[in-house]
């Protein structure tokens, strides 16, 4: 079916948005989408003519050619083209690129903008059309060109001075820096401990009724001696209530979700990675369940506010509604969209898989809670005097007066705060004498700064105004893909802590174990991340500065408001920057993170760690040209870092390969290869079991066991072969049975019995279109 003459063609960025808008505008308007940017800088020679005042060379990337040719067809038939891309710098540039690439006639082209998809907003935008804002477009061109210059000049410096294929950029390099510097803070963190006293007291009130309460000392004690001294003073002291203060307090709801806060809460509450959150949100958006998921705005449309108010009043009662619009405080926010909210808040639940349901539920609760009343408390603080000591005890209580938004939604926090003993306090009166039941002084250790999670890194970047909602998730992926950063769990450790207990007039000491330092899905810098970071911070301080983006953003704003010419801005940045690049190429050494750990007691030679071609290594002795004596090398184990490895750990690496004695007349040798620790026997390799066997300590008996076990599983490996076709084999693998065919492997569909498959069945699986598609995608 071909659409006849379309009078009005509207072009937006996203197809899902196009669908909704078309419904609103009716059949006189055809709404289509550009799928974001349709042109980009060519990759040849930067795509920038440096000799010609930074003239950009734009091309249509291959994956956009189809869209552009379709748009060209549509435009030809239209009497009026409405460019409705987002109301921000990038959106303005998209509109401009469209007008250029589609060669739109200015007389038949109108630029319109709306930041919410409602009938009113869209119809009024049609009334208030304008021309493309060239200053804003120039600000975007400056942004794009600056990023290209930085990225495409810095990355090759790294290829020459550190390692090929590495990358650097205005956003990613600062993200890595944050993680590297945080890790160093943690490495250098000196744990200290102190004691805090917690007393349990009781008293009888006028009606002879017994009450109990807990109170904490108002001061910490630096060491055990001070804590004991305090407890000794408590013996025979009287404990008197000095004062009781009551004051009201309140807690307000958080604003509705932006991309960044959604990623943070989905990470804390649901354990999603930022990429997971975004792809689930995309599904919800495409299904029409939520508004657009890439936004920095906390604004809600009047339509949304009205329907949320109705829902709150119906579900919770009138006193729970407190309709308000929040103000976006984020640095550099462009606010082209609404906050992330349910499209129809009346819809409490959606159809979809479990993750989609959970994310929708989170968005629903957060949105509705944002329009609910403050929670009201009454806080009580009582100071308790200790007659023989200058320190006091403080009892704190908190009572709900009104739960407000907390009835629906409690925001999580990144800090794992210690539980405080806050609850209801019994009625206290001044000068009341309390009798101590027991007083504990518990040793508490200071906690190092927390490592970043993906989501808390996004939060930090957003605070610095670095990156945009559409790039948070890809940036986090990039720094992991380059090997700069690894997302990992870490086992916690154990330590002892002391509890001193005063009961009656006796002080006893108790030693207990506590777990600490357990990490889940935290970002750790890897060796190469640290080396690259140190190199960039040393030679390109300006770019790596946390305020670099903020500074250039200011200049982009000046371009947007017509106060500055974009080519001048780029020129004054690029001239000194490029000079610095050339200078760095000349003066800097090849950077491999080299560090001397000490002297090898056996040979008397220095022990050096550094990055080798295939990863981090340790060497004994220097590499002297033309010398016959070569240094000895050993690779670092997985998880060992150049930054933290000790001399002892480094020397231990040379205890491999280790001879383990003979088995069946052949020697067994233990060592560590690319794929981890192994035993070699009779020219065959047998992997040691991860986290079970230690190559430095494994016994010959255990090694033989591993060899025999492996032979057994290998025997069971072959399920079926075909005489007529030796290329096809049905095998048992780590993930169950599979078909092996000329170095390629194929899953066996559910429900088929592997041993009864015929050659024809196998060929069918190998030739099936789904499998072929998958192979293409893996390329």
Partner DNA sequence: CAGTGAGCGAGCTTCCGCTTGACTT
CA distance 457 to 344: 31
Question: What CA–CA distance (Å, rounded) separates 752 from 737?
Answer: 11
DSSP for 262-312 reads HHHHHHHHH---HHHHHHHHHHHHHTTSBS-SS-------HHHHHHHHHHH
CB of 256 to DNA, least distance (A): 18
The string of DSSP codes covering 205-221 is: -TT--EEEEEEEESS-B
The count of chain residues that interact with DNA, using the rule CB under 7 A, is 76
Contacting DNA within 415-474 (CB under 7 A):
466-471, 474
Query: How far is it, in rounded angstroms, from Cα 574 to Cα 542?
Result: 12
Q: Which of 307, 376, 687, 721 binds DNA (CB under 7 A)?
A: 687
* Cα–Cα distances in angstroms (integers) from residue 5 to residues 2, 77, 378, 713, in the given order: 9, 6, 68, 69
Site for DNA in 10-39 (CB under 7 A): 13-17, 33, 35-37
Q: Does 361 bind DNA (CB under 7 A)?
A: no
Q: Are 332 and 171 in contact (CB under 8 A)?
A: no
Enumerate residues 324-353 that contact DNA by CB under 7 A.
334
**Smallest gap from residue 37 Cβ to DNA (A):** 3
How far apart are CB 86 and DNA at their closest, in Å? Answer: 6
How many helices (DSSP H) and strands (DSSP E) are in the chain?
21, 30
634 touches DNA by CB under 7 A: no
Tell me: does residue 171 bind DNA (CB under 7 A): yes
Cα dihedral 354/355/357/358 (nearest 10): 110
Cβ-count burial of 724 within 10 angstroms (0-12 exposed, 13-18 middle, 19+ buried)?
exposed
Q: Alpha-carbon distance 218 to 475, whole Å?
A: 45
Cα gap 317→310, rounded to integer Å: 10
Among this protein's residues, is 614 annotated catalytic?
Answer: no
- Give the one residue of 172, 301, 367, 373 binding DNA; rule: CB under 7 A: 172
Residue 640 sits in the site that holds DNA (CB under 7 A):
no
| Active-site option among 54, 203, 285, 292 | 292
Choosing from 156, 352, 483, 631, the residue that interacts with DNA (CB under 7 A) is 156
Q: 362 to 401, contacts with DNA by CB under 7 A? A: none
Residue whose CB is less far from DNA, 641 or 687: 687
Give yes or no for residue 147 binding DNA (CB under 7 A): yes
Q: For residues 117 and 300, is the Cβ–Cβ distance under 8 A? A: no
Window 84-143: residues binding DNA (CB under 7 A): 86, 88-90, 94
Binding mask 479-508 toward DNA (x if CB under 7 A, else -) reads ---x--------------------------
x/- contact string, 515-544, with DNA (CB under 7 A)? Answer: ------------------------------
Give yes or no for a contact between 234 and 385, defined as CB atoms under 8 angstroms apart: no
CB of 714 to DNA, least distance (A): 10
Q: Return the residues of window 707-766 that contact DNA according to CB under 7 A.
A: 731, 733-736, 738, 740, 743, 745, 747
Contacts of 268 (CB under 8 A, 6+ apart): 412, 413, 414, 455
Site string (285-314) toward DNA, x via CB under 7 A: -x-----x-x--------------------
Joined tokens for residue 463: 């605070």
User: Which listed residue (4, 106, 354, 614) binds DNA by CB under 7 A?
Assistant: 614
Q: Please, which of residues 250-289 interact with DNA by CB under 7 A?
A: 282, 286
Does residue 685 interact with DNA by CB under 7 A? Answer: yes
Please name which of 24, 41, 242, 11 lies closest in space to residue 112, comparing C-alpha atoms: 11
**Residue placing its CB nearer to DNA in the complex, 214 or 460:** 460
Which CB sits closer to DNA, 444 or 632? 632
Question: Active-site positions?
Answer: 292
């Amino acid at each position: 079916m071909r659409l006849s003459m379309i009078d009005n063609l509207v072009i937006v960025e996203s197809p899902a948005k196009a669908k909704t808008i078309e419904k609103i505008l009716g059949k006189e308007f055809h709404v289509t989408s550009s799928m974001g940017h349709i042109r980009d800088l060519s990759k040849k020679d930067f795509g920038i003519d440096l000799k010609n005042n930074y003239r950009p060379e734009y091309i249509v990337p291959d994956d956009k050619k189809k869209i552009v040719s379709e748009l060209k067809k549509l435009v030809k038939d239209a009497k009026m083209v409405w460019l409705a891309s987002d109301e921000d710098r990038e959106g303005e540039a998209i509109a401009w690129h469209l007008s250029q690439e589609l060669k739109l006639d200015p007389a038949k082209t109108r630029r319109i903008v709306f930041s919410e998809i409602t009938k009113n907003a869209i119809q009024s935008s049609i009334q208030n059309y304008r021309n493309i804002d060239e200053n804003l477009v120039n600000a975007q061109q400056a942004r794009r060109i600056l990023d290209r210059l930085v990225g495409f000049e810095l990355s090759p410096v790294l290829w020459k001075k550190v390692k090929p294929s590495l990358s650097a950029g205005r956003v990613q390099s600062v993200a890595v820096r944050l993680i590297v510097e945080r890790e160093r803070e943690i490495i250098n963190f000196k744990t200290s401990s102190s004691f805090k006293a917690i007393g349990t007291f009781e008293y009888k009130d006028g009606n002879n009724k017994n009450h109990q309460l807990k109170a904490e000392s108002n001061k910490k004690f630096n060491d055990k001696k001070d804590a004991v001294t305090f407890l000794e003073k408590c013996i025979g002291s009287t404990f008197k209530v000095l004062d009781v203060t009551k004051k009201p307090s309140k807690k307000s709801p958080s604003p509705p979700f932006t991309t960044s806060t959604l990623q943070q809460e989905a990470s804390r509450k649901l354990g999603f990675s930022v990429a997971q959150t975004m792809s689930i949100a995309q599904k919800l958006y495409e299904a029409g369940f939520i508004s657009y998921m890439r936004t920095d705005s906390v604004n809600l449309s009047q339509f949304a506010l009205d329907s949320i108010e109705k829902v709150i009043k119906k579900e919770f009662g009138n006193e729970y509604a407190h309709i308000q619009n929040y103000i976006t405080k984020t640095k550099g926010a462009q606010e082209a969209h609404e906050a992330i909210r349910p499209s129809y808040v009346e819809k409490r639940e959606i159809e979809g898989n479990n993750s989609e349901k959970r994310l929708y539920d989170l968005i629903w609760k957060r949105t509705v809670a944002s329009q609910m009343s403050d929670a009201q408390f009454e806080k009580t603080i009582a100071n308790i005097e200790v007659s023989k000591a200058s320190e006091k005890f403080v009892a704190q209580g908190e009572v709900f007066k009104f739960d407000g938004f907390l009835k629906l939604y409690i925001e999580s926090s990144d800090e794992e705060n210690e539980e405080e003993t806050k609850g209801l306090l019994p009625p206290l009166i001044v000068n009341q004498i309390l009798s101590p039941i027991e007083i504990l002084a518990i040793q508490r250790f200071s906690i190092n700064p927390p490592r970043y999670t993906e989501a808390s890194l996004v939060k930090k970047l957003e605070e610095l105004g670095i990156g945009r909602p559409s790039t948070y998730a890809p940036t986090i992926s990039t720094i992991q893909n380059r090997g700069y950063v690894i997302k990992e769990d870490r086992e916690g450790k154990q330590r002892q802590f002391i509890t001193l207990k005063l009961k009656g007039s006796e002080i006893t000491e108790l030693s207990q174990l506590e777990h600490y330092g357990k990490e889940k899905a935290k970002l750790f810098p890897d060796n190469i991340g640290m080396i690259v970071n140190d190199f960039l911070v040393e030679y390109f301080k300006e770019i790596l500065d946390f305020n670099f983006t903020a500074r250039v953003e200011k200049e982009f704003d000046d371009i947007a408001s017509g106060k500055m010419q974009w080519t001048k801005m780029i020129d004054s940045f690029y001239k000194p920057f490029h000079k610095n690049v050339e200078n760095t190429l000349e003066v800097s050494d090849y950077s491999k993170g080299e560090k001397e750990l000490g002297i090898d007691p056996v040979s008397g030679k220095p022990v050096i760690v550094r990055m080798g071609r295939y990863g981090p290594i340790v060497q004994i002795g220097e590499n002297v040209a033309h010398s016959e004596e070569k240094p000895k090398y050993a690779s670092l184990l997985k998880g060992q870092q150049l930054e933290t490895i000790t001399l002892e750990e480094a020397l231990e690496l040379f205890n491999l390969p280790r001879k383990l004695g003979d088995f069946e007349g052949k020697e067994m040798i233990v060592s560590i290869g690319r794929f981890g620790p192994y035993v070699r026997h009779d020219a065959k390799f047998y992997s040691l079991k991860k986290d079970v066997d230690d190559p430095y300590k494994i016994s010959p008996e255990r090694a033989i066991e591993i060899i025999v076990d492996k032979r057994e599983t290998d025997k069971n490996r072959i399920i079926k072969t075909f005489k007529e076709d030796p290329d096809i084999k049905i095998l048992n693998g780590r993930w169950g049975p599979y078909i092996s065919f000329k170095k390629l492997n194929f899953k066996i569909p559910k429900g088929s019995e592997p041993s009864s498959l015929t050659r024809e069945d196998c060929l069918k699986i190998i030739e099936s279109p789904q499998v072929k598609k998958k192979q293409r995608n893996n390329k």
